[in-house]
Structure 1
């Protein structure tokens, strides 16, 4: 019996090692695929293997133990919301006669993050495995940050050496940093993701080293020259501070604000220029429909009304699948005339998330999906308040903060259907649920 228990613990520990390797692969996935473009089969295998691994993991760790061994997975509180959301999408797809392959492909994009969440929540986690995850990705993130600064200094050379896209996107005179990512937006998100965890550890432990490191990663996020992760950083920090008593909230908030202002002063002209460019692009337009993101938001409401109550079906609006298999809705609603949304150039079709949900599943689907994320926020907030172990508490707080950051990014990004972002955020939520479940079981 003891030997069986020991073997099970070793298995769980090894699974966490595999998850760390999978996470590192996810961070490098697009760059590896980019270097394999000449070999179509290898290129496509690398691009889509994450979804295959996730499906297999869910099958072997959740489905088989449940139906064959009777090991029912722990309840997470989102089962009904998620099931109803997917059911609505299936019904709307049938009603709108969406081709099966298109609907199924979009279905997979919607669920892959949640499948990964269930995988992580089902694998027992403890302080030892948690520290292993945190240290591993802290070192990996540090490497990405250092290489990001190399990318600033010698972008053409660095991108040539790594086989990355050699186009340099200058914003306010600064090259948008990508490091080992293919897009600067992903670098900006990952730096913000790591920065928020260090901010969380500073909030819990009060160590200056955590605060210094968090600002170093926040600076890396700034050099991506993308507004979304910077807005997400602010939202995440405010969410973290809101969990503190008023006195500590003011005390730590003032420290963070003071250092943030000092660091912002040298780059303020660039920061303000970035803000001004976004306001000009999205708010200060005579006709908001000339901008793809604005058009996606406005038209999604019209589609939800016209296809009431369940939307136009999976794969029909605002997502990568609707661009790859060009949806007839873009012609029907004159969106094909918007720059970046024509059948020949679909680069801005999947530039948001919530319009996709609203257009494809209607107002009810939108409410259900928002309800899932709200359930995560409430659970994490409760875990932070009730946790006594400071290390675990800091991780739970960091996860709450990165979840809030993801909500901010999802306003202008298909965040919850994108890799690696959705895996990291919902995977971290899954670890928090696992830690909580193990603690409850040991009482």
Structure 2
């Protein structure tokens, strides 16, 4: 033993000394990179041992990444959501590949993969610069990669309950931030918001909460509200959950986002109709009617604003309408693959100001050019980017993927297990909200709005699929023996919470 230690300790010390010396030398040239490596290595090791906790932490970082970047003023911090997703892929996908196990799938994966392949291949075909293509691909695919990472873990009903508890904490934090925002609106806006000008509706400030602008708060609050209502519908309600849903509804209302209001009220009525308890649906109708009456003038202005945004021709074609129309022309010009990621309608196309914009004279259109006003409408909708960058085939693949997800959610909404029904109803309400919001916001790719939906899509890899015998390992479950095989009501989950078929 003594001889072994005599040989081992000096070697270990020598390796440590060499590692420290190498890192010190590298830090003189790339201090940020070295710091990231020093911090990331132990975090990734911990993540491999606790993948579900790591994914939860990564999602939390992604949600508040843009806020942290705005407050800190650091461009590097703005990459937190991409780094968090990349790290989640390493933690969740890496061990499975290392063990020689097939990757787990989730609804719509093949179609989203086709959409991504079309956008990348078209980029190479038309000669999009690699830096632009890489940035555009990362933007278009990060939600899909998040779902892929989440799907590699076997999630149970108990895991969903734990995620729901964490979600409650997140919603309470949002409410608390909104209270402070309401108390000191200008100070909060100048500290957290990305626009210094504070907007008011009926003498009430348009809240941003812990996010950088009202639109993000609106959709995140609406998603939280709908999730709590779905929980009340399927898992049973308490006074606390009713108060929480009311608080999130008020937060969403005070964001004063018109599409958020409309989608939230419609989905709320639909969820309430699924409660199966007398008095719930009439109470929901009463609540919606009360909101309409109280905020009638604001709602009317919102509807008029929607019409003006898309149809007003007083100063030329409205910016959103122009981009939507031109996306069809671009898809025709670059048929059948599209113009490539980073070339039209995306944040990457705005950042590098696509030559397609110059060809169409966008530099002279208000809302599409910094020179004539601002360029906010370049990234103010979702579908022009999908259609123009990946072509008609890519658009079709994206829509078919959403249909595949919706079908799984609808099947879960009729499941015997309350947790499965909760996921199904929540997801169906969310997709409706996302589709409505996507007409004026790139919610499927913009952080943090894309995160809840693709997290849920990843969870569907463990819920509602067909069990197979090719994937029986539970090393990543982080569950005690027997956990996940019985819900809170004592009934087994095995028939519902299954290992999906491997990819390929």
TM-score band, normalised by shorter chain: 0.7 to 0.9
Residue in 1 that maps onto 2:332: 305
Specify the alignment match of 2:432 in structure 1: 404
Aligned to 2:258: 227
TM-score scaled to structure 1, two decimals?
0.87
Query: Secondary structure of the equivalent of 1:340?
Result: coil
Aligned partners of 2:381 and 2:441 also within 8 Å: yes
What residue in structure 2 maps to residue 418 of structure 1?
A: 446
2:139 corresponds in structure 1 to 109
Measure the CA separation in 2 of the matches of 1:440 and 1:35. 41
| Alignment-derived partner of residue 336 in structure 1 | 363
Aligned residues: 423
**Pair 1:217-2:257 in alignment:** no
Residue 159 of structure 1 contacts residue 166 of structure 1 at CA under 8 Å; is this kept in 2?
yes
Stretches of structure 1 that go unaligned for 5 or more consecutive residues are: 1-9, 38-42
1:429 partnered with 2:465: no
Describe the shift of the 1:311–1:250 C-alpha distance in structure 2 as closer, same or farther (beyond 3 A): farther
Counterparts in 2 of 1:114-193, with a 5 A limit?
114-159=144-189, 166-193=196-223
Deviation larger for 223-232 or 366-375: 223-232
Could you list the per-position Cα deviations for residues 111-149 of structure 1 after superposition, in whole angstroms to 9, with x for gaps in the alignment? 110111111122222233222211122122122123213
Worse-superposed segment, 211-220 or 430-439: 430-439
Gaps of 5+ in 2: 1-45, 466-493
Query: TM (normalized to structure 2)?
Result: 0.77
CA spacing shift, 1:288–1:357, aligned 2, 3 Å: farther
Question: What is the RMSD of the two structures over their aligned residues, measured on CA atoms?
Answer: 2.7
Secondary structure, aligned partner of 2:344 = coil
1:279 is aligned to 2:307 = yes
164 and 295 in structure 1: CA distance in 2 versus 1, 3 angstrom threshold? closer
Q: Match for residue 51 of structure 1?
A: 82
CA–CA separation in structure 2 for the residues paired with 1:410 and 1:162: 24
Residues of 1 paired with 2:411 and 2:432: CA distance?
Answer: 15
1:294-325: CA deviation from partner (whole Å, max 9, x where unpaired): 11111111111222222111111001000111
Aligned residue among 356, 359, 370 for 2:385: 356
Q: Is the 8 A contact 2:215 2:257 kept in 1?
A: yes
Structure 1 residue 183 displacement after superposition: 0.7
Inter-CA distance 136–311: structure 2 relative to 1 (3 Å threshold): same
Cα distance in 1 between the residues matched to 2:397 and 2:382: 14
Deviation at 1:57, TM superposition (A): 2.1
Kindly name which structure, 1 or 2, has the bigger radius of gyration based on alpha carbons: 2
- Checking the alignment, whether the CA contact within 8 Å between 2:338 and 2:389 is kept in structure 1 is yes
CA–CA separation in structure 2 for the residues paired with 1:13 and 1:194: 30
User: Which piece of structure 1 moves more, 209-218 or 142-151?
Assistant: 209-218
The answer as to 2:267 corresponding to 1:236 is yes
After superposition, the Cα gap between the structure-2 partners of 1:63 and 1:283, relative to the gap in structure 1 and judged at 3 Å, is same
- 1:172 deviates by 4.4
| In structure 2, C-alpha distance between the alignment counterparts of 1:265 and 1:13, rounded to whole Å | 53
